[in-house]
Structure 1
Amino acid sequence: MQKSISYIFHPLFMPLVGVLFYFSKSPRFIPLHVIQSKLVSIIILTILLPLLVNLLLKTIGKIESIELRTTKERITPLLVFATIILIIIKRVLTPFDFIELYYFFVGMLGTVLTCVILNMLNFKVSIHMMAISGIFMFFIALSIHFSINILGSIALVIFLMGAIATSRLSLKAHTAVELIIGSAIGILPQLMLIPYWL
């Protein structure tokens, strides 16, 4: 059960969750073909491409497991993911068309780069908590920005944060401190960028 939670709510799925939620709640008219093209791009870039890169790194012996258990193993995949985010904010979700999503991904980039620095300092943090906490902050910001009541969705994310944290502790993948710091570096970049688009 604990492993299932870690896989179902894997960090690679969180960018897609944020984008899907945005399109489902945005009061603006967005043509269906635009939504579909953005979703396909996000699925390819944030899920399929990182999975292929991780499998390649495992094949050539750069990482032992796609679970990235050590700080050393995490650096290259995180740098690749940071590059992917840069591509997204430059080519897929520009501030002129989707300012909310643009800053969501800019915040995500800040989170990933912070994680890279911590891993270079040999300090491991929970990437799972980074991802779900970023989603949590983005949902709150969207509710204020669009003046919509999404308390149910926010409550669900809080529940999931607790479930993921419990799962990571039960699997002995992280300590409580690593979970707390992971949550902080997921929330803070999103929080710091709110004045630019809210």
Structure 2
Amino acid sequence: MPLLGVIFYFQITRRDYPQEIIWAKLFSLFILTVILPILLYFLLKTLGRVESIYLKSTKERIIPLLLNAAVILIVIQRIVTPTQVLELYYFFIGILISTLSCLILAIFRFKASIHMIAVSGVFMFFVALSIHFSLNINVTLAFMCLVIGAVASSRLHLNAHTVNELLIGFFIGLFPQLILTPYWL
């Protein structure tokens, strides 16, 4: 989801970034937010720290969330610094806050929906971008609402989460993006 947010940002931004910089950032983010987590999952599975990709117990979620927070910190420090791309910097700060919030809840044995955190965070970022650039992206926002509903429905259908876990996940993803929006809007 973070990579989707970055791709969307570069599609609609009115700033003139050199194409090489855009591709370098996208490639770096792809490696750090897609490839590295997959490799870390296989490492954790090999070490017996996780049983499956579903991370069914809160205990299983702690190490992957810590590793994800570390990856997001690397992204913030090296790829989307505030001097380069302010909007993306705060987007990733919001992702870090959401990740740490989910980690704290996992420590206290509450399993918030990471899927809902991701889609609601990206949704709020899209809303903020539409305001920031004065763009009418209502079709994209409507599609994102459908995605949020589909994710929530699928998580309920699979008995992966309760309604409360989905709602908490939704707000953990949405609120950090909403609270950080005035810093770059």
Match of 2:161 in 1: 174
CA distance in 2, matches of 1:85, 1:177: 26
Structure 1 counterpart of 2:92: 105
- For 2:131, the equivalent position in structure 1 comes to 144
Query: Contact (CA 8 Å) 1:132, 1:161: kept in 2 or not?
Result: yes
What letter corresponds to residue 156 of structure 2 in structure 1? L
Q: Distance in 2 between matches of 1:84 and 1:57?
A: 15
User: Which residue does 2:55 correspond to in 1?
Assistant: 68
Tell me whether 1:119 sits opposite 2:106 in the alignment: yes
Please list every run of 5 or more consecutive structure 2 residues that lacks an aligned counterpart in the other structure: none
Tell me the SS of whatever aligns to 2:167. Answer: helix
Provide the C-alpha distance between the structure 2 equivalents of 1:54 and 1:66, rounded to a whole number of angstroms.
8
Q: Deviation of residue 66 (structure 1)?
A: 1.7
Letter in 2 for 1:110: I
Q: Measure the CA separation in 2 of the matches of 1:27 and 1:150.
A: 14
TM-score, normalised to structure 1, is 0.93
Q: Is the 1:19–1:39 contact (alpha carbons within 8 Å) kept by the matching residues of 2?
A: yes
Separation in 2, partners of 1:152, 1:28? 23
Distance 1:154 1:30 in 2: 25
Equivalent pair of 1:133/1:183 in contact (CA under 8 Å): yes
SS of equivalent residue, structure 1 residue 181: helix
For 1:86, the equivalent position in structure 2 comes to 73
> Is residue 112 of structure 2 the alignment partner of residue 129 of structure 1?
no
Shift >4 Å, 4+ stretches: none
Gaps of 5+ in 1: 1-13
Query: Structure 2 CA distance, aligned partners of 1:66 and 1:181?
Result: 21
**Residue in 1 that maps onto 2:22:** 35
* TM-score normalised to structure 2 length: 0.99
- Asked if residue 56 in structure 1 is aligned to residue 43 in structure 2, the reply is yes
One-letter identity of the residue aligned with 1:20: I
Structure 2 CA distance, aligned partners of 1:115 and 1:161? 18
What percentage of residue pairs aligned between the two structures are identical? 56
- Post-superposition CA distance 1:132-158 (Å, at most 9, x none): 000010000000111111111111000
For residues 23-54 of structure 1, give each alpha carbon's deviation from its aligned partner in whole angstroms, at most 9, with x where no partner exists.
Answer: 00001111111110000001000111011011
Instruction: Tell me how far 1:97 sits from its aligned partner.
Output: 1.0
The root-mean-square deviation of aligned C-alpha atoms, in Å, is 0.5
Q: How many residues align?
A: 185
Q: 2:29 & 2:126 partners in 1: Cα distance? A: 18
CA distance in 2 between counterparts of 1:69 and 1:43 reads 26
